[in-house]
Chains A and B, each alone.
Chain A
Amino acid sequence: EADIYQTPRYLVIGTGKKITLECSQTMGHDKMYWYQQDPGMELHLIHYSYGVNSTEKGDLSSESTVSRIRTEHFPLTLESARPSHTSQYLCASSEAWGWGEQYFGPGTRLTVT
């Protein structure tokens, strides 16, 4: 059983608000990821981290930012939400690059009105 958590599960918020999506894992994994996925569409990697104090941008450009101050915690922040940010955001982690299995959280469905 994978222990990776995301909060909130659902969020409806107005344009211009600042939001933080939380992601935590209790497996001690070094590598963590954020993916964005529109309904019925493919996954797109927006951020990843190799460990504490490491953050990298993914394949899809995103206006969000991330931080990695603790191994278990990898929050994603949008400074000013816009309707174009409406999507599902999925957090994942893996034990090590390459040979490690990837585990996903349940996702946060964000709607910006």
Chain B
Amino acid sequence: KQEVTQIPAALSVPEGENLVLNCSFTDSAIYNLQWFRQDPGKGLTSLLLIQSSQREQTSGRLNASLDKSSGRSTLYIAASQPGDSATYLCAVPFFYGQNFVFGPGTRLSVLP
């Protein structure tokens, strides 16, 4: 079964810390991997999309890496801010699936 997992489930850090969120997937045959942010009661905002041929993508303080062979992606957030507090989800379209498979998310709290 094609699955996506995320660890940790929740993370609380003081403002200014650099942090890493992890996403694992069970099958390396993927088209891409997308990281989203979700604020409480809101929709999902796309943060970064890494195509299967890429190793990493950067946007501002965010850097996402992809290692297909090991079935892992990491989202690195530099110099965290209270405004980064949200749930972060990763999603994967597998070659042999029909739709995106979402991880359960990591709930991040950045304390001032």
Contact = CB atoms under 8 A, between A and B. Distances in A.
B46 A102 contact: yes
Interface in A91-113: 92, 97-99, 101-107, 109
Nearest to B93: A98
Contacts of B104: 42
Contacts of B75: none
Interface residues of B, number: 23
Contacts of A11: none
A74 interface: no
Interface residues of A, number: 25
The B interface is mostly helix, strand or loop, or mixed, namely strand
B44 A98 contact: no
Interface stretch (B11-19, B58-66, B76-84, B94-102): B94-102
Nearest to A42: B104
A76 interface: no
A92 B34 CA distance: 14
B33 to A, nearest CB: 11
A90 B41 CA distance: 10
Contact of B102 (A39, A43, A48, A98): A43
Interface string B26-43: 000001101010001111
B34 A90 contact: no
A107 B31 contact: no
Contacts of A97: 93, 98
Interface of B: 31-32, 34, 36, 40-46, 49, 51, 89, 91, 93, 95, 98-100, 102, 104-105
20 contacts: A6-B43, A33-B99, A39-B40, A39-B41, A42-B102, A43-B89, A97-B98, A98-B32, A98-B93, A99-B32, A101-B46, A101-B49, A103-B46, A104-B45, A105-B43, A106-B42, A106-B43, A107-B42, A107-B43, A109-B41
